[in-house]
Amino acid sequence: MNKKFQELTNLFEILVTKPQSSDSLLSRFIQMLKSNNECYYECILMFKQYLKQEQPLEHIELTLNLLDQLMEQCDFYFHLLVGTFDFLTQLVKLLNSQGIKDYILSLIQDWGIMFQNDPNLPLFQEVFNTLKTKNVQFPSLKKSEKSLNSTQNSKNLFDVSKKDETFGKNEIIEIPKKYQKLLEDMNELKGNINLANMVMDNNKPDKDDTLMHDLIRQLQQVGPKLLDLITTFQSSESDEILKVIILVVDDLHFTCMRYEQFQTGQALEIFIPGESYLNTLINPQIIYERPDEKQFRQSIEMVPEHLTFSSLANKSRQEVQRQKSFQEDSNDKHSFQNEKIEENYPRTQQNRQK
């Protein structure tokens, strides 16, 4: 760890373990974060270490307080890293801790309102709305309106008023040529991440799957390189690429966590690929397919052609037409026979009457 990251780590530990930390330390910490995007990511990793139930309750409260302040004072890059499925899921899990439940609900509520019109950060409002549908009781509004107003007036990487004008439109985003190869590499890497999760879904820990272990090992080696990539994207022309990289990093981190669960025989957490709920340019070469989806698709593919729905429907229509033709032929034959009877025995009915 270099000197800068070591100082960042030391400041973080002081801020989340010492209740009487000075404002000057917080200012120094925020200044370091804003100096380098990689510091943002390192900060998120430290948050994940402290936002766990095994941590002392007082430390978790201080960590949540620091997170709250950073969300107010940092820019879009930090918001993007917090607004990931992995991070928000870890935060929601802490709702079982009664001592901090209201604080977490207050943060989720504030963020849900703060980013309600931001198409780049949809998970904040989605988590907020999901908890509301489950009749979770949120604390009274404290600063949500203030947070919303301050966000709209700030000059972050994405201006809110401009986003509102284009929200919902099918806008074609042109990527500079120098980033097109990188986007292709991200699509390939994301496909491998999806593949690794599908292999884990369909394997057992006691099965020696060399392909899976090699694939995970390769993905783990890519992680540090992705962090280096994040630091190189500072200009506005590469914001869309930055979102792609962060999506890939988030899913890669979650995949490595699932692999640890797999190795120790734990139940695997559900993998939800980032491209399924985030609007980015990512287009992975391999699409993730849940085990139940794969099983259903395979069961359909195994049905013989003569038993498929389309073939049965065609046969049903053919049978109806055949019966209709048979009925018409029968009617014609019956009519013809009556005519022949009348011709051969014209007075039969009259004779009977006599």
Residues 184-234 have pLDDT tens digits of: 999 999 999 999 999 999 888 777 778 888 999 999 999 888 877 776 665
Distance of CA 185 to the CA centre of its chain: 20
Highest mean pLDDT among 122-131, 172-181, 302-311: 122-131
Domains of the chain: 3-164 (1.25.40.90), 177-289 (1.20.58)
Out of 31-45, 266-280, 300-314, pick the least confident.
300-314
Residue 84: CB partners within 8 Å, gap ≥ 6? Answer: 123, 246, 247, 250, 274
pLDDT at residue 299 above 80? no
C-alpha 187/C-alpha 183 separation (Å) is 6
pLDDT digits (tens, 9 = 90+) for 93-140: 899 888 899 999 999 999 999 998 888 888 999 999 989 888 888 888
Q: Which residues of 236-266 are buried (b: 16+ CB within 10 A; e: fewer)?
A: eebbbbbbbbbbbbbbbbbbeebbeebeeee
Would you place residue 308 in the very low, low, confident or very high pLDDT band (cuts 50, 70, 90)?
very low
The CA–CA distances, whole Å, from 165 to 79, 117, 159, 161, 287 equal 21, 11, 11, 7, 32
pLDDT at residue 74 above 60? yes
| Helix or strand holding residue 65 (H, E) | helix 57-73
pLDDT digits (tens, 9 = 90+) for 5-22: 788 888 899 899 887 766
Q: Report pLDDT for 189.
A: 95
Would you place residue 354 in the very low, low, confident or very high pLDDT band (cuts 50, 70, 90)?
very low
User: Is residue 75 classed exposed, middle or buried when 0-12, 13-18 and 19+ CB atoms within 10 A define those classes?
Assistant: middle
pLDDT digits (tens, 9 = 90+) for 164-175: 333 333 455 677
Tokens of 212: 């899976």
Contact call for residues 89 and 51 (beta carbons, < 8 A)? no
C-alpha 98/C-alpha 215 separation (Å) is 40
Would you place residue 250 in the very low, low, confident or very high pLDDT band (cuts 50, 70, 90)?
confident
Record the pTM.
Answer: 0.54
Please compute the mean of the pLDDT values over residues 298-310 and round it to a whole number. 46
